[in-house]
Each structure stands twice: as C-alpha cells, then as structure tokens.
C-alpha cells in the first residue's frame, strides 16, 4: 500500500497548526514518515486502513518536527530583564500523539520489537 503524501501533509499541517503553505516547508518529514510506515506494513492491509495510516504518518512527522525544534531552540533566552525558558510541553504532547497513533496503527504494522533468541542449555 502506498500512503498519500497529500493526505499526510494535510493532517501534519493541522497537527502543527500550520497553514498549508507553511506545512509544505516540512513535506520532507511527511515523506520520510510515509516511507518508514510503508516499510513496516503487514501484507494485505485493507484500503480502509489508509486514512488511519496517513494520520499515523502525520503524527510521526509532527513528532519529528518537535524533536528538531526542541534540539535547535535554546533552553533559555534572556534579553535585558526579559527571560524565557522552554518548558518542553510541545515535544511531550507530540510524543503522546505519535504514541497514540502508533497504537492505533499497530494491527497493520509488523512487530519490530519482537526478537526471537534461543537459550543455551
């Protein structure tokens, strides 16, 4: 199944609170998220799951945007008497949104966490 980059970008813009033109600046994040999810899709995913999977890809792209912004912004900023300190809430909220969509999409994704190991005797 190929995920719609247009649908992902549209949802991403809504999550990020960006107008469509601004969201376009981050389309690379949406494409990367789509490629990642397409790479771990189970066989024979029903077409009805496409919308949910696009939403999951948008949530992943939004989470990555927040990771980038969190890494690039200074922890603290001062200008004379004015002091601003980053609280990290946007990043935490994005992480929760991605985790929720990851759970919803789980039935359609391969389990990459499972590892089969033999036990020596």
* Predicted pLDDT at 58: 98
Give the pLDDT of residue 82: 72
Q: What is the pLDDT of residues 45-103, one digit of tens each?
A: 999 999 999 999 999 999 999 999 887 766 665 666 776 555 567 888 999 999 999 99
- Going by pLDDT thresholds of 50, 70 and 90, the confidence category of residue 37 is very high
Q: Is residue 82 part of a domain?
A: yes
In this predicted structure, what is the pLDDT of residue 121? 55
The reply to whether 121 falls in a domain is: no
Least confident interval from 4-13, 14-23, 87-96, 97-106: 87-96
pLDDT at 113: 63
If you average pLDDT over residues 29-44, what whole number do you get?
96
**Choice among 27-31, 47-51, 113-117 with the minimum mean pLDDT:** 113-117
In a domain, 95, yes or no: yes
The answer as to whether 117 is a domain residue is no
The phi-psi region of residue 44 (left if phi > 0; otherwise alpha if psi is between -120 and 50; otherwise beta) is left
**Is 116 part of a structural domain of the chain?**
no
- The boundaries of the domain holding residue 86 are 5-108
Q: Please indicate, yes or no, if residue 48 is contained in any of the structural domains.
A: yes
d(CA 100, CA 83): 34
Q: What is the domain count for the chain?
A: 1
Measure the CA–CA gap between 36 and 110, rounded to whole angstroms. 12
The confidence band for 111, taking pLDDT boundaries of 50, 70 and 90, is confident
Bridge partners, 84 (sequence order): 77
């Amino acid at each position: 199944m190929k995920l719609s980059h247009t649908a992902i970008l549209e949802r991403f813009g809504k999550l990020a609170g960006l107008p469509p033109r601004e969201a376009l600046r981050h389309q690379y994040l949406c494409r990367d998220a789509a490629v990642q999810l397409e790479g771990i899709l189970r066989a024979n995913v029903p077409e009805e799951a496409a919308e949910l999977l696009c939403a999951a890809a948008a949530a992943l792209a939004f989470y990555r945007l927040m990771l980038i912004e969190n890494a690039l912004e200074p922890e603290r900023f001062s200008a004379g008497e004015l002091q601003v300190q980053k609280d990290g809430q946007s990043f935490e909220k994005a992480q929760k949104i991605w985790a929720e969509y990851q759970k919803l999409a789980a039935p359609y994704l391969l389990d990459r966490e499972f590892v089969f190991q033999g036990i020596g005797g």
